[in-house]
Amino acid sequence: MFREVVSHTSGLQFLMENLDLRSPMGRRCLLDSKMMCCEKEITAELNLVDRIVQALELNSDFIFQIQNKLAQLRDIRGSVNNLLGNLVLDDVELFEIKVFALVAQDIVELQKEGKQSFLEIQDLSQLIRLLDPQNTKIPSFYIYDNYSEELAVARKELRFAKSKNGDTELDIEVLFSKSQEIEAKVREDLCSKISLHGSGLANALQQLAHLDLLIAKAVQAKSLQLSKGEVSKGNTIYRGLFNPMIKNELANQNKDYQTIDIELESSVCVITGANMAGKTVVLKTLALCQYLFQFGFFVPAASAQISIVDKVMISVGDEQSELNGLSSFASEMLNVSRMVKDSKSHKNVLVLIDELARTTNPVEGLAIVNAVADIFYQGKIKSVITTHYSGLKSKFRKLRVKGLDKDLGANVITHKNINSYMDYSLVEDLEGEVPHEALRIASLLGIDKEIIERAQNQLASKNKL
């Protein structure tokens, strides 16, 4: 479910918080939605979102009118469940159901007027006639005299008694009790009648929640310039891929975001590059896009062809190590071990591992990267591993982040602007060698010269051996 992945998928919380959901049911619909693994389901959901995106471009006021109506809806699940359980509802519950039905019918009429029916909403007109016998369409409820002639007479007698000075309090109390008894029976009969519409009411509740979510997805797709992904039977291909959360942060700093192109085959791909090269962002964005696509959202890319998977497994950072008392390396290895085991039993997965074995020594770290990549390569597991280790085996596919521009001219580089001089595009790398840019970056940032010189001497001595 969405609620289970949102907390541990970078960028998903940002998108959820920026969804323009208008009703509590819409939010619940999102959190309870399941990750779709069926092409037909994904395509149907994306087509609905696409229709609303197109409607927004043609007549945004029409969509906003529907949203304003959705904002008037309350979550009446409790009242509906009581109704389905054949319980007698009180006036507050009957009021909630009446208001819900009136708003639902307004949305039905809006779709008819706009000649755009995005979702078929349950017809609640018969239910409205029961709860609004006077046809006032006023959002209030009362056990009206129209429900029972006997009740109307009893209430009239009570009003008359109260207006006469000669009647005792006992007489008034008797008449009041009589009208209350009749009213209770009328309420019971009314609830019995409207209970026949309980299933329809529950359907309308789900349909309007879904409509709220669909519109929110479409509004977000338009505002963030997301695109409709297509189901791929082969490779996953992104053109102009970007991370919405980071793009937003950079925009707030008046900085541009560099999009990338990437194609994932049905096997392992290792992305190499120096630190600060953006490898982690690529990995997080791939996970984000896979989830967005399979939860029926548009994706942050100029275009996308995405292969459906049954499961996404990702290892980024060592957030869990401090919580369970393990070292970073131990926590990572246990996590990777579980991922390897799961991938052997579930072939249709997407495995994403960031800076594998980064916290151990380079010799053993490189061996671990090659070993895990070998397993995924032989098992044809769709996977991406990032690393800054050099000396990778040649049989699996390797991509490299281009990194720092070669010619910086007379530009002054600082920790605040160095990202502007990084080229984050990915290129095929047949050698598997990571660019040696650490000392160059350190020098450009103005790090103490003695550190740079001593490090260069160490490298020179090593190369002579």
The residue with greater pLDDT, 128 or 390, is: 128
The residue with greater pLDDT, 167 or 369, is: 369
Q: Which segment, 40-44, 84-88, 117-121, 388-392, is predicted with the most confidence on average?
A: 40-44
C-alpha closest to that of 429 among 390, 397, 404: 397
pLDDT for the residue numbered 32: 96
Q: What angle do CA 352, 357, 360 make, to 5 degrees?
A: 165
Which band of pLDDT confidence, cut at 50, 70 and 90, is reported for residue 17? very high
Backbone angles phi, psi at 311, to 5 degrees: -160, 145
Residues 392-404, mean pLDDT to the nearest whole number: 84
State the CB neighbour count (10 A cutoff) for residue 47: 11
The residue with greater pLDDT, 387 or 275, is: 387
pLDDT for the residue numbered 168: 67
324 pLDDT higher than 80: no
Which band of pLDDT confidence, cut at 50, 70 and 90, is reported for residue 464? low
C-alpha closest to that of 77 among 41, 107, 38, 32: 32
The residue with greater pLDDT, 215 or 401, is: 215
398 Rama sector, left if φ>0, alpha if ψ -120 to 50, beta otherwise = beta
Residue with tokens 């942050």: 300
- Please give the structure tokens belonging to residue 165: 């000075």
Helix (H, G, I), strand (E, B) or coil at 384: strand
Which band of pLDDT confidence, cut at 50, 70 and 90, is reported for residue 64? very high
* 191-219: pLDDT as tens digits: 999 999 999 999 999 999 999 999 999 99
187 pLDDT higher than 70: yes
Backbone angles phi, psi at 150, to 5 degrees: -60, -40
Straight-line distance from the first to the last Cα atom of the chain, in angstroms, rounded to the nearest whole number: 57
From residue 339, how far is each of 173, 320, 372, 395, 453 by CA, in Å? Answer: 74, 15, 10, 22, 42
- Please give the structure tokens belonging to residue 369: 């990267």
The Cα 1–Cα 210 span in angstroms is 15
DSSP letters for 340-372? HHHHHH--SEEEEESSTTTTS-HHHHHHHHHHH
- Please give the structure tokens belonging to residue 267: 């096997």
Task: Report the run of H or E that residue 159 belongs to, with start and end.
Answer: helix 149-163
Strand partners, 168: none
pLDDT for the residue numbered 291: 98
Question: Where is average pLDDT lowest: 87-96, 204-213, 246-255, 441-450?
Answer: 441-450
Residues 155-179, mean pLDDT to the nearest whole number: 72
The matching CATH number, chosen from 1.10.620, 1.10.1420, 3.30.1050, 1.10.150, for 19-215 is 1.10.1420
Residue with tokens 């070993």: 371
Mean pLDDT of the chain: 88
- Please give the structure tokens belonging to residue 29: 């619909």
| CATH topology classification for 225-434 | Rossmann fold (3.40.50)
Amino acid letter, residue 108 = V
pLDDT for the residue numbered 158: 75
DSSP letter, residue 413: P
Whether 289 and 304 have beta carbons less than 8 Å apart is answered as: yes
Whether 107 and 25 have beta carbons less than 8 Å apart is answered as: no
226 pLDDT higher than 70: yes
The residue with greater pLDDT, 418 or 223, is: 223
Residues 329-342, mean pLDDT to the nearest whole number: 90
DSSP letter, residue 227: B
The bridge status of strand 236-241 relative to strand 260-264 is antiparallel
Intervals of CATH 3.40.50.300 along the chain: 225-434
The Cα 129–Cα 107 span in angstroms is 17
Residues 51-64, mean pLDDT to the nearest whole number: 93
Residues 244-263, mean pLDDT to the nearest whole number: 93
pLDDT for the residue numbered 415: 62
Which band of pLDDT confidence, cut at 50, 70 and 90, is reported for residue 152? low
Strand partners, 190: none
Determine what percent of the chain is predicted with pLDDT higher than 70. Answer: 90
322 pLDDT higher than 50: no
pLDDT for the residue numbered 436: 65
Which band of pLDDT confidence, cut at 50, 70 and 90, is reported for residue 325? low
288 pLDDT higher than 70: yes
Backbone angles phi, psi at 418, to 5 degrees: -60, -30
Residues 132-159, mean pLDDT to the nearest whole number: 80
Q: What angle do CA 39, 237, 268 make, to 5 degrees?
A: 95
Q: At what angle do helices 77-84 and 91-113 cross, to 10 degrees?
A: 110
DSSP letters for 51-107? HHHHHHHH-HHHHHHHHHHHTT----HHHHHHHHTTPPP-HHHHHHHHHHHHHHHHH
pLDDT for the residue numbered 368: 94
Whether 380 and 347 have beta carbons less than 8 Å apart is answered as: yes
Residues 10-39, mean pLDDT to the nearest whole number: 96
276 pLDDT higher than 70: no
Whether 396 and 361 have beta carbons less than 8 Å apart is answered as: no
24 pLDDT higher than 50: yes
1 pLDDT higher than 70: yes
Residue with tokens 């109260």: 162
Q: Which segment, 164-168, 188-192, 210-214, 362-366, is predicted with the most confidence on average?
A: 210-214
| Close Cβ partners of 271 (under 8 Å, ≥ 6 residues apart) | 279, 282, 283, 384, 385, 386, 387, 398, 399, 400, 401, 426
| Close Cβ partners of 157 (under 8 Å, ≥ 6 residues apart) | 175
Residues 413-426, mean pLDDT to the nearest whole number: 75
- Please give the structure tokens belonging to residue 420: 């502007």
302 pLDDT higher than 90: yes
From residue 460, how far is each of 211, 363, 402, 435, 464 by CA, in Å? Answer: 65, 20, 25, 17, 6
The residue with greater pLDDT, 106 or 410, is: 106
393 pLDDT higher than 60: yes
Backbone angles phi, psi at 349, to 5 degrees: -130, 165
Intervals of CATH 1.10.1420 along the chain: 19-215
